[in-house]
Amino acid sequence: MKNYKITLIKGDGIGPEIIDEAVKVLDAVASSCDFGFNYDEALMGGCAYDITGDPLPKETITKSLNSDAVLFGAIGGPKWDNLPREKRPESGLLRFRKELGVYANLRPAVVYDELINASSLKPEVVKGVDLMVVRELIGGIYFGEPKGRDENKGWNTMVYTRSEIIRIAHQAFKIAMTREKRVCSIDKANVLDVSQLWREVVTEVATQYPEVELSHMYVDNAAMQLIRDPRQFDVMLTGNIFGDILSDEASMLSGSIGLLPSASVGAKIGVFEPIHGSAPDIAGQGIANPIATIASASMMLRYALGENEAADKIDNAIKRALKEGYRTQDLAQFDAKEVCSTSEMGSIIANYIER
């Protein structure tokens, strides 16, 4: 029997609770398929700082690189907000992404029919939305040099090289080939030089994918179009900061940020995590929505392990739980038949898989 090595990084806040539910569901899917999992935990974020003085201990990187995939919860919280920047949980996460070389962040935004009323937009606008933000993750203004600050000035640099744009563009086109074959590349080419290069290079890469229809859109317009008519999008290809912003915006189409998973992939290894944060305000109360993390586990099966059938099983079980009217607190006012806790939701989804 095949055994996959999974590094679990639970992190801070609600991280541990939601990872536990994803593991429950993974174990259920493994017992109904022909493989198993070996889990190994590693520290990152505020909890890592508290124990080791470093938000990203070396051991976490080695463990992760030696596994088949990483399942990650969330990091951060007010407790660590006043630390110097390099000790903050967020710095650990950014270094982690860089060290693992996960340059492509895939963030799907799907509107479940069962939750159509949970969106703050009208049902007729969001019905059937199924888009994927492909965000460049280890370049752009997050990492560009020079950067710094003094008393009266702070500065960062948005820089992309041709090769960085080429590899993320290929990711977007390849994913589009498995979907509706449309890529909309987001930039600010009317103002930024870096965006002009971005647009040129994406257009060149597109010639290798003649079946995919490429369009370009300025980021400000894209922010507006996502609200006006989100169904026009299939794959949205973005740089780091534009994708950070637009993927949060896109997540609200679905009604709760607690629903959406993400995958960060590169040449070496994939990291799978919910797009929401550590929600310290509700940590430990058993009310967090574990669905985004469970859906991230499904993306792990699909994108890192090639277990598509198992991934389908999880996705179907999530849909079934929603269809039957099970809701965690965040969605309690939207057609709930029964409001359930974090761990009840995990068990319900796991049970639907075993059957």
User: Of 9 and 321, which has the nearer Cβ to ligand IPM?
Assistant: 9
Instruction: Tell me how far, at minimum, the Cβ of 318 lies from Mg ion, in Å.
Output: 22
Question: What one-letter code names the amino acid at 307?
Answer: E
Q: Answer yes or no whether residue 187 interacts with Mg ion by CB under 5 A.
A: no
Can 315 be counted among the known catalytic residues? no
Cβ contacts of 43 within 8 Å, gap of 6 or more = 9, 51, 52, 57, 59, 60
Cα 283–Cα 273–Cα 90 angle in degrees, nearest 5: 70
Q: Answer yes or no whether residue 244 interacts with Mg ion by CB under 5 A.
A: yes
Q: Which two tokens stand for residue 318?
A: 């999530």
Q: Which residues bind ligand IPM (CB under 6 A)?
A: 90, 93-94, 244
What is d(CA 124, CA 311) in angstroms, rounded to the nearest whole number?
A: 29
User: Which residue stretch of 116-124, 240-248, 306-314, 332-340 sits at the interface with Mg ion (rule: CB under 5 A)?
Assistant: 240-248
Can 187 be counted among the known catalytic residues? no
Closest CA to 86 of 49, 139, 61: 49
Instruction: Tell me how far, at minimum, the Cβ of 141 lies from ligand IPM, in Å.
Output: 11
Catalytic residue among 4, 49, 142, 209: 142
Catalytic residue among 12, 54, 187, 244: 244
Instruction: Tell me how far, at minimum, the Cβ of 137 lies from ligand IPM, in Å.
Output: 7
For 122, phi then psi, to 5°, come to -65, 145
Catalytic residue among 10, 24, 63, 188: 188
Can 174 be counted among the known catalytic residues? no
User: Of 19 and 350, which has the nearer Cβ to ligand IPM?
Assistant: 19
Catalytic residue among 20, 130, 248, 335: 248
Instruction: Tell me how far, at minimum, the Cβ of 198 lies from ligand IPM, in Å.
Output: 18
Q: Where are the alpha helices (DSSP H) in 33-119?
A: 46-52, 58-65, 89-100
Catalytic residue among 34, 40, 113, 220: 220
Can 193 be counted among the known catalytic residues? no
User: Of 96 and 173, which has the nearer Cβ to ligand IPM?
Assistant: 96
Among Mg ion, ligand IPM, none, residue 234 binds (CB under 5-8 Å by kind)? none
Instruction: Tell me how far, at minimum, the Cβ of 218 lies from Mg ion, in Å.
Output: 20
What is d(CA 36, CA 27) in angstroms, rounded to the nearest whole number?
A: 8
Instruction: Tell me how far, at minimum, the Cβ of 72 lies from ligand IPM, in Å.
Output: 10
Among Mg ion, ligand IPM, none, residue 130 binds (CB under 5-8 Å by kind)? none
For 334, phi then psi, to 5°, come to -115, 90
Q: Answer yes or no whether residue 12 interacts with Mg ion by CB under 5 A.
A: no
Q: Answer yes or no whether residue 273 interacts with Mg ion by CB under 5 A.
A: no
What is d(CA 118, CA 114) in angstroms, rounded to the nearest whole number?
A: 9
- State how far the alpha carbon of 325 is from the alpha carbons of 320, 339, 342, 354, in Å: 9, 8, 15, 19
Contact 173, 209 (CB under 8 A): yes
Q: Locate the DSSP E strands across 159-316.
A: 182-187, 213-218, 235-238, 261-265, 271-274
User: Of 255 and 277, which has the nearer Cβ to ligand IPM?
Assistant: 277
Can 188 be counted among the known catalytic residues? yes
Active site residues: 142, 188, 220, 244, 248
Binding site for Mg ion (CB under 5 A): 244
